[in-house]
Structure 1
């Protein structure tokens, strides 16, 4: 087990180094040698864990997507424990996709850089597609749960609304990236609330008094 843990830790150290290089200089600046220097290890050690640059990039893209997906799950679990409304939990979860702080900004830059490469790389495109499908699936499930609880009107097409909500959120993320001064955090969150308000129009029947 320690050997497996060390392997994962080393891979994480390398992919974190790739992410930092992408954020600072862009994807084209990433090389095995620069990654090794950034990670504080030898080129040979990097090549021990990743035999090709493409493997290293694929692992980085996969880990970045898995990281923010895990944060979404954590926010939802915490919200359920605090008995928050589904709309409120979903708002918090979707905000993870928007570059509103340094962590989310870095992740967004990485996803943006890899999106261009994914257009010409089938393996990166698969990770990109699976991540998007996973996000839409989580949103659709939240909307379906809202229908059961009373926050969402009966007969609402959860998949259709999830597509609209996620696309809207990604649009906000792109605007925040391109024009951060003209797209303040308060305006972004208000726009997200209004978009969710079109779907979550009711009150959960299981909500505690005073919530």
Structure 2
């Protein structure tokens, strides 16, 4: 009997507290919980939405910073003239900028769970990628830079909308993980080969020209 009276007293206190909150204009915490992002969602949607906001803030910052640096390369004409000058300094800077994203990637993998070191390394990686985009945009011009920026925004928005729509429907994409894992490594190796091969060919070409024009 004592336990039942205690439970009834607890229920009464809870009802009184809820009524008091409503009178004061404070909604119950459970009423503010958003709808689940996908069926059978076990975690709190508020935590998931906070994570999504953080990720999209980082992605938007990366895109804006990279676009700004790429625009500098597209509109500032002395930059391509410097890299096409054929000097030793321009070659060293060119190779260092192209290889810097791959060098910055390894510490990111090691310290990816160390906060805030992971954010600092991510900022360094973004800066390296931005410099690479700056070089490419300086060679290909404003039109190619704008096309790349528009296509990137289109893919980003379309993929986001599709992901939210598919998650609402309960679709599971975990089966794609092995294919994505293999594809990202193939793409990484391809980029390394392309950068290294182009850098070596450019250095060899400039070296041959220098020795060819040396006075005998």
Same topology, TM > 0.5: no
Higher helix share: 2
Structure with the larger RCO, 1 or 2 (CA within 8 Å, 6+ apart): 2
TM-score of the superposed pair, with normalisation by structure 2 = 0.28
TM-score of the superposed pair, with normalisation by structure 1 = 0.28
